[in-house]
Amino acid sequence: MTVSAPFAIRGRTLAFKADPFRVPVEDAVSANDDGAVVVRDGKIVEVGPAHEVLAHHPGVAVEAYGPDALIMAGFVDSHAHYPQLEIIGSYGEQLLEWLETYTFPTETKYADFQYARAGAETYLDLALSNGITSASVFSATYPASVDALFEGALARGMRIVTGKNLMDRNCPVALRDTAVGGYEQSEALIAKWHGKGRLTYAVTPRFAVTSTPEQLESAGALWRAHPTTLMQTHMSENHAEIRWVRELYPEAPDYLGAYEAFGLIGEGANFGHCIHLTEREIARLKETGSAISHCPTSNAFIGSGLFDMQGLRDCDDPIRVGLATDIGGGSSLSMFDTMKAAYEIAQLRGYSLHPIKAFWLATVGSAGALRMDGKVGNLAAGYEADIVVLDLHSTPIVRRRMREADSLSEALFIQMILADDRAVRATYVAGRKLHDRDQTHVDR
Please check whether residue 291 is in contact with residue 320, taking contact to mean a CB–CB distance below 8 angstroms. yes
How much helix, strand and coil, in percent to the nearest 5, is found in the chain? Answer: 40, 25, 35
**Structure confidence by residue, pLDDT tens digits, 272-286:** 999 999 999 999 999
Helix ranges (H only) for 313-389 are 335-348, 355-360, 366-369
Q: What is the mean pLDDT of residues 30-39?
A: 98
Residue 162: CB atoms within 10 Å = 28
Q: Which of 194, 57, 82 is nearest to 48 (CA)?
A: 57
Question: d(Cα 366, Cα 324) in Å, to the nearest integer?
Answer: 8
**Is 418's pLDDT higher than 60?**
yes
pLDDT at 443: 54
Q: What is the mean pLDDT of residues 218-243?
A: 97
pLDDT at 441: 52
Q: What is the mean pLDDT of residues 26-48?
A: 97
pLDDT at 92: 85
pLDDT at 440: 59
Q: Give the percent of the chain with pLDDT over 70.
A: 98
Q: What is the mean pLDDT of residues 343-351?
A: 98
pLDDT at 444: 47
pLDDT at 98: 87
pLDDT at 4: 76
**Is 2's pLDDT higher than 90?**
no
**Structure confidence by residue, pLDDT tens digits, 49-72:** 999 999 999 999 999 999 999 999
Helical (H) or strand (E) element with 55: helix 50-56
Question: Across the chain, what does the average pLDDT equal?
Answer: 96
Which domains occur in the chain, in start order?
Answer: 7-73+377-436 (2.30.40.10), 75-369 (3.20.20.140)
* Reported confidence tier of residue 377, pLDDT bands at 50, 70, 90: very high
Q: What is the mean pLDDT of residues 95-118?
A: 95
**Structure confidence by residue, pLDDT tens digits, 191-200:** 999 999 999 9
At 293, the amino acid letter reads S
Torsion over CA: 372, 375, 376, 379 (sign): positive
Q: What is the mean pLDDT of residues 229-233?
A: 98
DSSP state letter for 60: -
- Measured CA to CA in angstroms, residue 122 lies from 113, 119, 400 at distances of 14, 5, 33
